[in-house]
Structure 1
Amino acid sequence: MKFAKSSDQRGRVLTALGNMRQQLGLVLGAAQSARAAAEAELDRLRLEQRIVHAGIGKADPEDLRHPALASVREQLNAVQAAFYAEAATVPGRLRQLVADTAPGAASRPPSDWLGRVGTGTLKVPPLWRIGSSTVDSTGPFPVAVPLLDESHLAVTTAPKTRAAAEALVEALLLRVLSSMEPGAVRVHLWDVGQLTAVLPNLYPLSRTSAVTVYDPARLDDLLEELAGYVRRTHAQTMQAGHHSLRSMREALGQRTEPWRIVVFFGNGEDWTREQLRELKRIAGGALAAGISLIGIDLPTMFGGGVENIRLLDEQHAVTSMTGPDILVDLDPPIPAGEVSGAASRLAEALIAKQGGPRSFNDLLPAELGQESSAKELRAPVGFFEGDPVEVVIGDGTPHALIGGPSGSGKTNFLYALLGSLAARYPPDELALYLLDFKEGVSFAGLAPGRRDASWLPHARLIGVNVNTDREFGLALLRFLADELRRRSAAAKEHEVTDLAELRRQDPAGHWPRIVAVIDEFQYLFAGRDTVTNQATALLEDIARRGRAQGIHLILASQDIAGIDAFWGKPAVFEQCTLRIAMPKARRVLAETNNAAVAAPKWHAVVNHDSGVAHGNQLAHVPDASSRDIFSSLQRKLWELYADEHQRPRLFDGAHSPILEHIPAFAALTPGGRPRALLGQSIDVEDTACAADLFNAPGRNLAVLGTAAAEALSIMDAGGKSLARQYQPHEVEFLVCCLVDRCAPAVDHLVQTLKAEGHLVEMLHEEELGARMLKLVEEPSDRARILLLYGVDAVLPLLEAKKPGELKSGLDHFRAVLKQGPTRNVHTLGWWRSTARLKDTLGFGGTDDIGAWAALDVQGSELSQFAAGQVVHWSPRPGRALFFDRSTHVSPEVMIPFDRPEF
């Protein structure tokens, strides 16, 4: 039993081992078969690889006869047949593609377009022909490269191929210029190796805006100009909601800016690191701004999309567009004479399209007064390359600084600006306040005159010849500060923050934008005195807060280098983000911006970016200030608006006003508190300086100084104005002339007073003391006015006492000065020195002289008559310092009225 069981187990083990041997045999057989098949397939693939690499036509016959490749030969023959069938259609398809994407001059032979004027405006060909190539017997096909809005070009030359590179670029530029309408494309040429002859065949176009040639030593200027253009264009497109100039052009359906092609002939020379960095920055944003760069042998690669052209010899090249295996046959150069002739015809077409040189009338709109100033003021002031250059005054550029030396065209620019603004905005939208500090009459023609009765309806104030009247500039700033406060209060009431919102919330209000032009404004700060301090503070406040309330400053000067008042106080200049620099102007633009140095005559550099170089816009300013040019526009505006607007206030510092012509004199009537008009106030409003002669102590007037003409004027004006306020016989004038040479003028005044029906008594110096006693002791039923000329001359006589008398005539005169005003007796006296006035008043102080007008008297002598305050006054011809203790905080300058000599 035991042996039977053991034998059975052994049989089972042998059976299992046999089965395992059988399975292992099957596996090894399958593996050997798979290996043989894999080795055969590998041999076949290696043979196929050799055939494909060599080409079926050049393969080893032994390989082709290999039995394993029977099916491969059939497959390869089929693929080869399909390939050659497909390849045969490629040249034709390429020809059709170029014809579709590069129509007209972009791909046609030069004979079809050379010298013809293009008409393309919006749709730009994406490809431009440079040559042709051939791949088989089907014939050549054109080779074109992308350019405008698509790509930059980088050209690399081989030895002795400079002429071929120039011919390539020249033909390419001519194709572009001949495809687009005149003025749509502008070419900028720079060559480090050529002083003047950069593509000389194109030079006929350099007299237009189509081609600009740059000095090889001024590469930095060209890069700054391009960077500024890219920044400006980017800002414009982004503000309009577009990512590029092309998308904005397609959305608007019109061209807003020209395309630009900038050609750099580098000759492989090194650039500075900063120049290379700037070029790459420009290239990165240039295509979006409509700028295409063409670089020949530059030491760097452009940023952004770039197409590369590598010249192999004078006739052949390879491009990144076609790949290194396609040899490009460059188009033959166009003969120089034909290029020059074509350039001339294109230049003539551009000049004809632009209408030749632009005039002042080209700045004006088709219809006058159609714009609103709610958001900003915008007006062209000149032209660059045929297109208008605008000045924008608003929240972004609230104030302007204009600089230019004498003869640079600053006044002409101001006229162009004012005319362009006035033509676009009606007087209800724009109010002008014009002030000229230099000795001239730049703005005088804008007010009515003897030759021309018209005026500029937008002007509210015109000040000329005010170089010695700094107080008038201060008065203008005070007026603007008051207007600023008024507008701020209205904005607060309506809960708004700017002028546009105020006008929406208060449509019935009168809120025009105010533009104050101050020419030679540095005169405001010519002295270290109160005028300078107050003007500085006011100007800074208006500059900071004026933008929100629609009050704008335009400050013009020949040279701002000497304005010490603003060192350490840059608030005004920082707010003047609009800078206009005339040729050779200094320190108007940023320190590193030298654009004004190279600006030609009759041009201006307009910069809305605080003078930084990238904001430069060069503008040719047409003649706006010659005779009959601006006046013709002014007359049209006058005829259109004069019935609804008052004539402007004209302040001419070179002419003294006439008493009878001022509104204050015409408004005087009998009754009420009498006022003695003394001179014209230096103020924005046409007002007079006057002393109120009411019944209160001290209501007397003293005229101080030896300037006889001005003293007589003040006395004469006081007498005439007082006489106008009384009915006949209501007032008695007591007149005493103690200066012989003044007798004719005094006699004339006496006759005038008598002719008006007033009582007049002439007093002699011997009876003056007795008459003073009588005035003190005797009451009167009428007002009495003492007009005393040269009081200091009679003081010795008045001081003398007669025997037996306790008081002298001088004592009686002092009593009249002290008590007279309360009894309706007022004195208007002329003293030729402050010391003699002090002697006249005695120890009683100065209270009995409530008002005084000083002529050729130093300010230090007047402090005792001005409540002890320091008086800043340096005498000047035709001016007086007036102080009335009842109304003035400090003295004010006035202009005595003009009076005829007798």
Structure 2
Amino acid sequence: MRRKVVEQRARVTNALEALRHQIGLALGAARNAHSDAEDALTKLRLEQLVLSVGLDRAENDPKLAEHRGDPAMTAVRAWLENVRSRFYADWADGPGQLRDLVASAAPGPAGRPGGEWLGRLGTSEGMRPPELWRIGEATVDGSSVGRTPGTTLSFDVAVPLLDESHLSITSAPKTRPTVDALVEGLLMRVLSTFTPGAVKVHLWDVGQLTAVLPNFYALSRTSAVTVHDPTRLVDLLDELAGHIRRIHTHTMQAGYPSLRAMREATGKRVEPWRIAVLYGNGEDLAPEHLRDLKRVATGALAAGISLILVDVPTVLGGSVETISLLDDRRAVTSMTGSGVEVRLDPALPAGQVAGAAARIADAIVTRQGGPRSFADLLPTEFGQESSARELRTPVGFHEGEPVEVVIGDATPHALIGGPSGSGKTNFLYALLGGLAARYSPDELALYLLDFKEGVSFAGLAPGKKDESWLPHARLVGVNVNTDREFGLALLRFLSDEMRRRSAAAKEFEVTNIAELRDADPNGHWPRIVAVIDEFQYLFAERDSVTAMATSLLEDLARRGRSQGIHLILASQDIAGIDAFWGKPAVFEQCTLRIAMPKARRVLAESNQAAVAAPRWHAVVNHESGVAHGNQLAHIPDASAKNTFPVLQRQLWQRYATHGRPRLFDGAVAPRLDESTAFAALEPGTDRPRALVGQSIEVTDNAHGVEMASTPGRNLAVMGSSTAEALSVLDAATRSLARQYPAGAVEFVLGCAVDTCLGEVRALADDLAALGHKAGVATAGEIPSLVTEHTERLSEPDSDRFLVLYGVDAVLPALERKEPGKPSALEHLRTLLKQGPAKGLHVLGWWRGVARLKDTLGFGGTEEIGAWVALDVQGSELAAFCAGQVVQWSPRAGRALFFDRGTHASPEVTIPFHRPEVTDA
């Protein structure tokens, strides 16, 4: 037992000794590794110091003075010299290869001496810009590459810029002229490579207000060079950030990761390059500016923006090359390494630079071609574009390049603003002309409404002097400033069309108009553009029209885009539209903003571009009015005589099969004989309709009263306006006569107003000429006339219409009563109550609401199934429409119509024009 214990203890002791030995070995290895690591770190730090000052200058550099006797320094220098000698030995033809590389990567002005190109205009469109841009040359000792000792070999030095890299320049004391020459040379090489206008330069200097690269100032009269306020770096950074957001959105929507990729894939340069030169003073920027600058630098290259920072201490995101000046001639660069000194190219001759800048500026102005014409907006072939995905057309030019308006899913609706005389109407013509020329009427349908007192769109419908019309137009409404109901009717029509398209999309299991057109190629699904000029009139009153219009417009703005329905709202000033307070959806959906000179509240509040916009220009912004979306465009004269009409006639001749648009002119009374509803009437109908006026609808329709054999089918006209009362009764009578065969109906016209007797007799003559029985009774004959027809109610007879003019004028006579007999007034009440069921209907005119009530007696309002109110206040009409509040104020040429059998509330109607008897 004891023996086992001793053996067990021995094994434990041996194991512990073995463990101690292993731990000792591990600790020793760790100490050795730690020592080796410290030695390696020391060598790395020394290597970094040597490389930062250059191997050739390390012996005398004060930064390395304390390490001169250090064996590690000796080892590091020996190792670096060995590496360099091996490198140069292996690369004996390095300088020659560098020269060839720069020659191929920096062709033309990018790498050649200034005398070969300075003052000549660039010709490159920039599909593939040079990869490098020359800044100077460097030399190496020939002995290091196997050449004769004492000889030197030189090679060109260039840096990447456009699409490739940013550039950070650090100056040395008293080297500002050298820095300016370096920056000026780079910029002039870039500007001289590409066609004028392809590059835009932004200059900002924290220490100077105006004298930033003064040789370029000739370019500042164009957009090629912009000098920014030294106290407002934030404005420049915001502008650059805005460009980046806009360009990234555009390229990503097109399926490309960068502007460069898009340019190479499509073969078109859609955006200019931008170079922003920022001169600092060696001090740190404010934290918020530094944050914004880094954010800009990160996304700038993909958006075609390069930064050149001078004495701005920061570490930028993205690719950055550096140039550090040693003195006024020498520098080191990240392209060549700190061990190679670069001799910077001498400054270009100032006078030649200024002259070259002036030539480029002149070329940019010439490229603009002065004011471009409306014809320049039009394509060479009409109707070749598809609207399935979007609508797109140029509306103007900026420095010779077209500025486009895009209407689609991303920018579904537009808001146009500008004071009177700012060119808003001309812009609309330029827009409509461009769209109509590019898209056929099967691709685009236009609904045009002008609320101001004028005829801006009237020429787009057939006229007396020009029979042509714009084939794309389905509706043209002018002079509707007092007919807000017509604007409401248009919104209702568009809302109904939106629901129709939505139902079709649901049926085909698609979500938008483009998919619906693919799924239903035989359907008719054009994009609809509704233009409402001076749309603020639609919301001028706080009434039911405003409430309904606001609701409909908001719904259309939200949901119309997916169904291909787009709104263009134009106004002088939207500030006072109270209806949209608290309901910003309409304006939020109007991501396309067009601001004419001096326009207010159209662009974002901080965007003042419209204030400085010159005449005949517009600020086009697809980014909801934010400043980075601004595009200034000169708008050609599209509204001059023989300009738009020429295009319209060409389109009319091309698309002759498309029907004419509906023209609604609020200043012109419609004619009964030109009414579509009147023309559609024909004999033999079971339910004849008495037309009373034109309805305010998108389609050409008329208000009418069905004269069925049911109680209350009588018509009352109320008001003192003689001309309009005659018009209503004339239209009602003539339209009824049109629906009966000759001799199948009897008209009895009772005129109690002597001044109207001539018109009434003329109507009777016309009825008789149609083969109908028609008679005229004067004021004194009306009581007996009423009594006679009451007595005939029990007799089977043909349909009869008793048309009474100025009934209230004979009320005393009607009320006169003989003993034991009912009065004529009682007979009239009997006719109103029992007549419709017996085929007799009364159409009467009372010159006041109270007089009509007196005629009807207590409870008699039920016998008036339909009425037309002329110069009568709405508050007087409640008894005739089930007690509801009627919002109506009389206005010239308009009346209020209500048919209790079909209407929930009264509607505005337009009495037809009635030619005077003398006109016949």
Q: Same fold (TM over 0.5)?
A: yes
Are residues 146 and 742 of structure 1, via their aligned partners in 2, closer, same or farther at CA, if it must alter by over 3 Å?
same
Are residues 269 and 794 of structure 1, via their aligned partners in 2, closer, same or farther at CA, if it must alter by over 3 Å?
farther
Tell me if the contact between 2:804 and 2:844 (Cα under 8 Å) persists in the aligned partners. Answer: yes
Q: Which moved more, 1:472-481 or 1:114-123?
A: 114-123
Tell me if the contact between 1:261 and 1:294 (Cα under 8 Å) persists in the aligned partners. Answer: yes
| Structure 2 partner of 1:104 | 108
Q: 2:415 aligns with which of 396, 401, 419?
A: 401
Q: 1:128 aligns with which of 130, 133, 137?
A: 133
| Structure 2 partner of 1:264 | 278
Tell me if the contact between 2:392 and 2:407 (Cα under 8 Å) persists in the aligned partners. Answer: yes
Q: 2:805 aligns with which of 789, 793, 803?
A: 789
The SS at the match of 1:843 is coil
Are residues 252 and 783 of structure 1, via their aligned partners in 2, closer, same or farther at CA, if it must alter by over 3 Å?
closer
Q: What TM-score comes out, normalization by structure 2 length?
A: 0.85
Code of the aligned partner of 2:828: F
| Structure 2 partner of 1:528 | 542
- Inter-partner Cα distance in structure 2 for 1:280 and 1:79: 37
The SS at the match of 1:262 is strand
Are residues 496 and 732 of structure 1, via their aligned partners in 2, closer, same or farther at CA, if it must alter by over 3 Å?
same
| Structure 1 partner of 2:665 | 652
Code of the aligned partner of 2:865: G
| Structure 1 partner of 2:624 | 610
Tell me if the contact between 2:139 and 2:154 (Cα under 8 Å) persists in the aligned partners. Answer: yes
Q: Does 1:118 align with 2:118?
A: no
| Structure 2 partner of 1:212 | 226
- Inter-partner Cα distance in structure 2 for 1:226 and 1:888: 58
Bigger radius of gyration among the two: 1
| Structure 2 partner of 1:835 | 850
Code of the aligned partner of 1:116: R
Tell me if the contact between 2:760 and 2:776 (Cα under 8 Å) persists in the aligned partners. Answer: no
- Inter-partner Cα distance in structure 1 for 2:102 and 2:506: 65
Q: 1:501 aligns with which of 515, 520, 526?
A: 515
Code of the aligned partner of 1:700: N
Code of the aligned partner of 2:690: A
Code of the aligned partner of 1:99: A
- Inter-partner Cα distance in structure 1 for 2:909 and 2:589: 33
What is the deviation of 1:442?
1.7
Q: 2:683 aligns with which of 657, 670, 673?
A: 670
- Inter-partner Cα distance in structure 2 for 1:657 and 1:392: 38
| Structure 2 partner of 1:571 | 585
Q: Does 1:661 align with 2:661?
A: no
Are residues 811 and 600 of structure 1, via their aligned partners in 2, closer, same or farther at CA, if it must alter by over 3 Å?
same
Code of the aligned partner of 1:131: G
The SS at the match of 1:369 is coil
Code of the aligned partner of 2:670: P
- Inter-partner Cα distance in structure 1 for 2:463 and 2:247: 46
The SS at the match of 2:188 is helix
Q: Does 1:883 align with 2:887?
A: no
Q: What is the CA RMSD across the aligned residues, in angstroms?
A: 2.9
What is the deviation of 1:702?
0.8
Q: Which runs of 5+ in 2 are unaligned?
A: 1-46, 48-53, 61-78, 142-150
The SS at the match of 1:366 is coil
Code of the aligned partner of 1:418: L
Q: Does 1:819 align with 2:834?
A: yes
Code of the aligned partner of 1:203: Y
Q: CA offsets per residue over residues 192-226 of structure 1, 9 Å max, x none?
A: 44444433322333344433344445543332221
Are residues 704 and 218 of structure 1, via their aligned partners in 2, closer, same or farther at CA, if it must alter by over 3 Å?
farther
Are residues 111 and 80 of structure 1, via their aligned partners in 2, closer, same or farther at CA, if it must alter by over 3 Å?
closer
| Structure 1 partner of 2:76 | none
Q: Does 1:461 align with 2:475?
A: yes
Q: Does 1:726 align with 2:730?
A: no
Are residues 345 and 613 of structure 1, via their aligned partners in 2, closer, same or farther at CA, if it must alter by over 3 Å?
closer
Tell me if the contact between 1:269 and 1:298 (Cα under 8 Å) persists in the aligned partners. Answer: yes
- Inter-partner Cα distance in structure 2 for 1:392 and 1:852: 48
Are residues 168 and 414 of structure 1, via their aligned partners in 2, closer, same or farther at CA, if it must alter by over 3 Å?
same
Tell me if the contact between 1:225 and 1:616 (Cα under 8 Å) persists in the aligned partners. Answer: no
What is the deviation of 1:735?
2.0
Tell me if the contact between 2:368 and 2:397 (Cα under 8 Å) persists in the aligned partners. Answer: no
Q: Does 1:516 align with 2:521?
A: no
Aligned ranges for residues 444-455 of structure 1 at < 5 Å? 444-455=458-469
Q: Which moved more, 1:111-120 or 1:721-730?
A: 721-730
Q: Does 1:808 align with 2:823?
A: yes
The SS at the match of 2:415 is strand
Code of the aligned partner of 2:813: L
Tell me if the contact between 1:817 and 1:827 (Cα under 8 Å) persists in the aligned partners. Answer: yes
Q: Which moved more, 1:297-306 or 1:827-836?
A: 297-306
Code of the aligned partner of 2:135: I
Residue correspondences, number? 833
Q: CA offsets per residue over residues 28-52 of structure 1, 9 Å max, x none?
A: xxxxxxxxxxxxxxxxxxxxx9xx9
Q: Which moved more, 1:869-878 or 1:817-826?
A: 817-826
What is the deviation of 1:557?
2.0
Q: CA offsets per residue over residues 44-101 of structure 1, 9 Å max, x none?
A: xxxxx9xx9999x99xxxxxxxxxxxxxxxx999999988877875444433332222
Q: 1:320 aligns with which of 334, 337, 357?
A: 334
Q: Which moved more, 1:346-355 or 1:185-194?
A: 346-355
Tell me if the contact between 2:55 and 2:339 (Cα under 8 Å) persists in the aligned partners. Answer: no
Code of the aligned partner of 1:317: A
Code of the aligned partner of 1:130: I
Q: Does 1:478 align with 2:483?
A: no
- Inter-partner Cα distance in structure 1 for 2:135 and 2:157: 6
Q: Which moved more, 1:251-260 or 1:652-661?
A: 251-260
- Inter-partner Cα distance in structure 2 for 1:780 and 1:763: 23
| Structure 2 partner of 1:707 | 721
| Structure 2 partner of 1:488 | 502
What is the deviation of 1:633?
1.7
- Inter-partner Cα distance in structure 2 for 1:736 and 1:396: 64
- Inter-partner Cα distance in structure 1 for 2:859 and 2:56: 129
| Structure 1 partner of 2:184 | 170
Code of the aligned partner of 2:655: Y
Tell me if the contact between 2:417 and 2:599 (Cα under 8 Å) persists in the aligned partners. Answer: yes
Tell me if the contact between 2:415 and 2:593 (Cα under 8 Å) persists in the aligned partners. Answer: yes
Are residues 212 and 837 of structure 1, via their aligned partners in 2, closer, same or farther at CA, if it must alter by over 3 Å?
same
What is the deviation of 1:348?
4.0
Q: Which moved more, 1:535-544 or 1:824-833?
A: 535-544
What is the deviation of 1:169?
1.7
| Structure 2 partner of 1:846 | 861
Aligned ranges for residues 231-380 of structure 1 at < 5 Å? 231-267=245-281, 271-298=285-312, 300-353=314-367, 355-380=369-394
What is the deviation of 1:351?
4.5
Q: Percent identity?
A: 69
What is the deviation of 1:539?
1.9
| Structure 1 partner of 2:886 | 871
- Inter-partner Cα distance in structure 2 for 1:76 and 1:813: 124
Q: Which moved more, 1:825-834 or 1:194-203?
A: 194-203
Code of the aligned partner of 1:849: I
Q: Which runs of 5+ in 1 are unaligned?
A: 1-48, 59-74
Are residues 786 and 127 of structure 1, via their aligned partners in 2, closer, same or farther at CA, if it must alter by over 3 Å?
same
| Structure 2 partner of 1:61 | none
